[in-house]
């Protein structure tokens, strides 16, 4: 199934724009409950104004909130960004740590966010169980775990670590483009023949093809 999906999405990658680990960490925090496209629309201004953890830690809350407001839940996200930036400055000499055990000690950073940063900024293998990955691995029958951490470990046991990061990107691409939450395009799915959930969505090939998205949701 993974080989078939990788063939469908050979360019699967992190769709958040970033230039360094700090930018990816901030963008990932902002991506909660919104789209990567929306996050990418605000981060250029955000990083121009606050290029380092020290800069962001010293930000005026009202100004920060105004910049990130389009991403939703901006007050809670601003609080997380201020606290995690201060923690990076105070406990890690202003550098984003490259270990899972350290990343998850930062305010507002869980395993999902940490694995995104590790995989794409530090090239440390990790499985990112976001809503798309969690939905797909259960539909595929790879695990029935609802808890993201348990699902991460269950899926990780099926694949060598070298595949974990790219596997996550591939599943996220498939979840955004074909295997939608409400109406999956089963008739246009490259793994339909092996999927125990085939029939959950539209099975007619022509109708299913109309449901397939070419890019990230906007």
Answer with the one of 69, 91, 121 that is the final residue of a domain.
121
Residue 44: count other Cβ atoms within 10 Å of its Cβ: 10
Average pLDDT over residues 96-106: 97
> 114 with 25, same domain?
yes
Whether pTM > 0.85 for this model: the answer is yes
pLDDT at 218 over 50: no
pLDDT tens track for 107-125: 999 999 999 999 999 999 9
Active site residue 144: no
Active site residue 77: no
pLDDT tens track for 152-207: 999 999 999 999 999 999 999 999 999 999 999 999 999 999 999 999 999 999 99
Domains contained in the chain, number: 2
pLDDT at 25 over 60: yes
For tokens 């970033």, what's the residue?
A: 18
* Whole-number pLDDT of residue 214: 79
> 157 with 179, same domain?
yes
Please tell me which residue in 130, 163, 213, 214 is annotated as part of the active site.
130
- pLDDT band (50, 70, 90) for residue 95: very high
Percent of the chain with pLDDT over 70: 98
Please tell me which residue in 36, 77, 112, 120 is annotated as part of the active site.
112
> 115 with 173, same domain?
no
Report if residue 147 sits inside a domain. yes
Give Cα separations from 187 to 35, 115, 178, 211 (angstroms): 26, 32, 10, 10
> 47 with 79, same domain?
yes
> 113 with 156, same domain?
no
Average pLDDT over residues 25-40: 96
For tokens 């605000």, what's the residue?
A: 42
User: Which of these ranges, 75-79, 121-125, 210-214, has the smallest mean pLDDT?
Assistant: 210-214
CA-based nearest residue to 58, from 77, 80, 85, 78:
85
Provide the residue count of the chain.
218
153 Cβ neighbours under 8 A, 6+ residues apart: none
Q: Are 98 and 24 in contact (CB under 8 A)?
A: no
The Cα 96–Cα 115 span in angstroms is 13
Q: What is the DSSP string of 53-96?
A: HHHHHT--HHHHHHHHGGGS-HHHHHHHHHHHHHHHHHHSTTS-
> Could you tell me the CATH number of the domain that includes residue 110?
1.10.340.30
pLDDT at 216 over 90: no
pLDDT tens track for 36-58: 999 999 999 999 999 999 999 99
> Domain range holding 31?
21-121
Element at 208 (helix H, strand E): helix 205-211
């Amino acid at each position: 199934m993974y080989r078939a999906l990788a063939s469908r999405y050979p360019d699967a990658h992190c769709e958040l724009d970033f230039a360094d680990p700090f930018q990816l960490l901030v963008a990932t925090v902002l991506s909660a409950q919104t789209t990567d496209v929306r996050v990418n629309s605000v981060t250029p201004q955000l990083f121009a104004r606050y290029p380092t953890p020290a800069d962001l830690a010293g930000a005026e809350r009202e100004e920060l909130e105004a910049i990130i407001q389009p991403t939703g839940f901006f007050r809670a996200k601003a609080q997380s960004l201020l606290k995690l930036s201060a923690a990076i400055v105070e406990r890690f000499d202003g550098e984003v740590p490259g270990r899972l055990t350290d990343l998850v000690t930062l305010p507002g950073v869980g395993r999902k966010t940490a694995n995104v940063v590790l995989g794409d900024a530090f090239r440390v293998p990790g499985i990112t169980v976001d809503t798309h990955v969690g939905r797909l691995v259960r539909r595929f029958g790879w695990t029935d775990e609802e808890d993201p951490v348990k699902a991460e470990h269950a899926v990780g046991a099926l694949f060598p670590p070298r595949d974990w990061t790219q596997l996550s990107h591939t599943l996220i691409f498939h979840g955004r483009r074909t295997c939608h939450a409400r109406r999956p395009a089963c008739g246009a799915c490259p793994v339909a023949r092996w999927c125990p959930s085939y029939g959950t969505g539209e099975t007619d090939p022509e109708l299913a093809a109309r449901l397939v998205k070419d890019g990230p949701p906007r």
